[in-house]
């Protein structure tokens, strides 16, 4: 059966919605199903989209409570080998809105569990931990790289007291570097947040 191809403007006029709203749905549909029939222009713009696939996608993926346009099943149209007039399945479709809502509820439970584990100190953010390691390494390396600045002090110690003088000076320099590192680590710890946000919160 030949696909009925409609432009975004024609679909928007039929449903009484804006063209950007239809374009947004078409973009999501093509990202999820790149095999859907589509006509494109020379610049890659969508000139026409299979109307049956468009309506089927909205039937399966759009929340009816938030839909700004009617969800339209097309009786007799074939989509992926199934007629839209077929009786509803008794087993929930994995891609259906009801299944998506159930998965959303389970996702919320999983997020709360993650929050609890993180609050108990059982979890750490790997990305934040790696960022912290890099920051600490950079700060400590910066302190160590200042060591050549003490070359004149070492030369003076050699000229005055020889090896013993250098040994004493190096012990003092090591003590100073250790204190600088400890102060820098304390500074980083003081500036760090007590709790890191979940990745879901950052994407929201």
Going residue by residue through the chain (204 aa), what tens digit of pLDDT does each one get?
346 788 999 999 988 889 998 999 899 888 877 878 899 999 989 999 988 888 877 877 665 555 566 555 544 444 444 444 443 333 445 456 666 666 667 656 666 665 666 677 665 666 677 888 898 999 999 999 999 999 999 999 889 989 999 999 999 999 999 999 999 999 988 888 776 665 444 444
| pLDDT at residue number 2 | 47
- Pair 190, 162 in one domain: yes
| pLDDT at residue number 193 | 78
- Pair 11, 75 in one domain: yes
Domain housing 174: 125-203
Alpha carbons 94 and 78: distance in angstroms, whole number: 19
| pLDDT at residue number 97 | 66
| pLDDT at residue number 46 | 92
pTM score = 0.39
- Pair 37, 109 in one domain: no
| pLDDT at residue number 104 | 63
Q: What is the DSSP string of 141-176?
A: HHHHTTGGGGHHHHHHHHHHHHHHHHHHHHHHHHHH
Inter-residue contact 150 to 157 (CB < 8 Å)? no
- Pair 158, 138 in one domain: yes
- Pair 102, 40 in one domain: no
Domain boundary residue among 75, 105, 123? 123
The Cβ-side half-sphere exposure at 29, using a 13 Å CA radius, reads 24
């Amino acid at each position: 059966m030949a696909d009925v191809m409609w432009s975004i403007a024609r679909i928007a006029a039929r449903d009484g919605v804006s063209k950007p709203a239809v374009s947004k749905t078409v973009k999501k549909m093509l990202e999820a199903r790149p095999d859907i029939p589509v006509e494109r222009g020379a610049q890659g713009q969508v000139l026409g989209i299979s109307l049956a696939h468009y309506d089927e996608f909205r039937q399966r993926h759009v929340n009816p409570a938030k839909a700004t346009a009617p969800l339209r099943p097309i009786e007799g149209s074939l989509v992926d080998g199934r007629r839209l007039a077929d009786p509803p399945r008794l087993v929930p479709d994995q891609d259906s809105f009801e299944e998506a809502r159930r998965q959303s509820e389970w996702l919320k439970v999983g997020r709360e569990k993650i929050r609890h584990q993180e609050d108990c100190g059982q979890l750490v953010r790997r990305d934040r931990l790696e960022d912290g390691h890099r920051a600490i390494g950079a700060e400590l390396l910066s302190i160590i790289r200042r060591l050549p600045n003490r070359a004149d002090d070492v030369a003076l110690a050699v000229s005055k007291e020889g090896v013993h003088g250098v040994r004493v000076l190096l012990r003092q320099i090591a003590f100073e570097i250790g204190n600088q590192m400890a102060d820098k680590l304390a500074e980083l710890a003081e500036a760090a947040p007590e709790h890191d946000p979940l990745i879901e919160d950052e994407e929201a």
